[in-house]
Amino acid sequence: MTRHPKRTLSRALLTSLLLVAGLLSACATGPVVPAAGAALPAGALSTNWQAGGLPATSAVAPMPPADIAWARFGDPLLPELISAAQAASPTVSAAAARIAQARASRVAAQAAGLPTVDLQAQAVQGRSTPRGGPTASAQVGLQAGWEIDLFGAVAAGRDAAQARLQGAQAGWHDAQLSVAAEVASSYVALRACEAQTVMSQADTRSRLETSRLTDLSAKVGFTPPADAALARASAAQARNQLVSQQAACDTLVKSLVELSDRPEPELRQRLATFTTVLQQPSAFSMADQLPASLLSRRPDLSAAERAVLAAVGDRDQRLAREKPSITLSGSLAGGAGRLNSITVSGGSWSFGPLRVDFPLFDAGRRAADTAAAQAAYDDAVMQYRALVRRAVREVEAALVSLQSATQREADARSAAQDFETSLRATEARQRGGLASLFDLEAARRNAVFANSALIDLRRERAIAWITLYRALGGGWDNTTLAAVPRNP
């Protein structure tokens, strides 16, 4: 039997291409992705906090989730304001948009490893010769193509897209936590400001009454005019401080209005329904929050770690693009044609071409892309390491602030009580003529300063708890990444 020379050549060419594809597949390797935390050098984190643990307390409980932690302040309005602020925050909204973008990019990356199928249709009508009859043809078919992922370029892109999606999800959690901590800090500052205002109001009333009585005594000659002038100056100073304190409180209210996106009259009404006492949050345990556990306890660290993994995928994808690529295509079509009164119809199909591209010369474009991807990876590693150091510093600083505030609170409370007792005694002595107005004003200044310092200390302690809770990840865990709402 005689073989057709063209058919023999086609079979030989196809066999050679398939052999090349098999050899390339045998030597292909996928991307190497580092394990979690591999971007950190050995011994980067110690096993204990250098600032020590939490202050001794009888109300220690495991670190609660965020929705429970804010309720521990004992003020039901705080969790409501946090939820409202998270819903209205542009930062949270932007983080949600990044999740949607990352999901779309992941779909595109996954689709890159699958065949593509396009539907093609065309119709032509005309006259082929000047005196010939009309002609018409129509064709409908499917065109398919597939890039065989020999060196893991598609897989690396898919891994990078998945890492970016997880990083975006962690970023959404971090944005939620940041907004909650900001609202909680502003709320604590407002309650402390209100407590300072109540104290200032009482002090102002006392000084005004002292000034009134001193003026009456000076008019009848029992008190020197200089003492009356001192009493009036003291009352004026108290009114000035009260107005300044009220302005500071109004500024904090407006800050909460901005954060929560609630009408100011409504928010002021809700704020007035609760006490002005500055609540202290209940303590939580740090037994399982050692420095190394920050790698999974903080959403921003999780996002930075995913950024490193995404950079690894980008780098490996660029490396794979420097190697040969194989593309397989095919088509299936059916059509019909008409010439004068003759109509012909039928179908056609093709398998191929099987194309192999060997990069030979591109003026260094592919190598430059790989170098850029390597630089991006090095930068992501450096950013991750710096963020880990900052996270440890934030926890250490919060522990120092919390311990300092706790250790000073007993002395501050005792000083406020004793100065208040001294003021009451000096007031009684001054009314009896056994103490001068100067003695009374000195005792009042000491009492006001001591009470103000105690309120500031309690505010500092509450904010230290908030800062520590935020620095430890806010009860978040990277196992909750899958719990991100589909449309957050």
Parallel, antiparallel, or unpaired for β 116-127 and 134-148?
A: antiparallel
- For the chain, the farthest-separated pair of C-alpha atoms sits apart, in whole angstroms, at 144
- Enumerate residues 6+ apart whose C-beta is below 8 A from 463: 185, 188, 189
Q: How far is CA 34 from CA 37, 38, 159, 294, 308, in A?
A: 8, 6, 12, 18, 9
13 or 292, which is more confident: 292
- Judge whether 4 lies within some domain: no
- Residue 204: which of 179, 237, 182 has the closest Cα? 237
The fraction of the chain above a pLDDT of 70, given in percent, is 74
Q: Do 231 and 352 reside in the same domain of the chain?
A: no
- Judge whether 28 lies within some domain: no
Q: Do 138 and 195 reside in the same domain of the chain?
A: no
Q: Do 274 and 164 reside in the same domain of the chain?
A: yes
pLDDT (mean) for 108-129: 76
Q: Do 126 and 220 reside in the same domain of the chain?
A: no
* pTM, full prediction: 0.77
Q: Do 316 and 335 reside in the same domain of the chain?
A: no
Q: Do 298 and 371 reside in the same domain of the chain?
A: yes
Q: Do 305 and 269 reside in the same domain of the chain?
A: yes
Structure tokens at 482: 């899958």
Q: Do 200 and 120 reside in the same domain of the chain?
A: no
396 vs 20: CA distance, rounded Å = 59
- Judge whether 62 lies within some domain: yes
Mean residue pLDDT of the chain comes to: 78
pLDDT at 21 over 70: no
pLDDT (mean) for 305-309: 91
Q: Do 104 and 209 reside in the same domain of the chain?
A: yes
- 62 and 172 in contact (C-beta within 8 Å)? no
Q: How far is CA 179 from CA 173, 187, 256, 382, 466, in A?
A: 10, 12, 11, 26, 12
Phi, psi of 44 (to 5 degrees): -65, -30
C-alpha dihedral sign at 365, 368, 370, 373: negative
Q: Do 168 and 143 reside in the same domain of the chain?
A: no
- Judge whether 406 lies within some domain: yes
Give Rg (Cα) of the chain.
38
Q: Which has the minimum average pLDDT: 14-28, 149-163, 215-229, 260-274?
A: 14-28
Q: What is the pLDDT of residue 248?
A: 93
Q: Do 317 and 407 reside in the same domain of the chain?
A: yes
| 333, 358, 383 - which closes a domain | 358
- Enumerate residues 6+ apart whose C-beta is below 8 A from 148: 21, 25, 325, 326, 327, 328
List the domain range (segments joined by +) for residue 435. Answer: 43-113+160-322+366-483
Environment class of 193 (CB within 10 Å of its CB; exposed 0-12, middle 13-18, buried 19+): buried
- Judge whether 38 lies within some domain: no
- Enumerate residues 6+ apart whose C-beta is below 8 A from 95: 168, 171, 172, 174, 175, 488
The fraction of the chain above a pLDDT of 90, given in percent, is 16
pLDDT at 146 over 80: no
- Judge whether 6 lies within some domain: no
Number of structural domains in the chain? 2
CATH code of 194's domain: 1.20.1600.10
Q: Do 255 and 286 reside in the same domain of the chain?
A: yes
347 vs 139: CA distance, rounded Å = 9
Confidence band for 338, pLDDT divided at 50, 70 and 90: low
CATH code of 341's domain: 2.20.200
Structure tokens at 179: 């907004």
- Judge whether 19 lies within some domain: no
- Judge whether 29 lies within some domain: no
12 or 168, which is more confident: 168
476 vs 238: CA distance, rounded Å = 46
430 or 68, which is more confident: 430
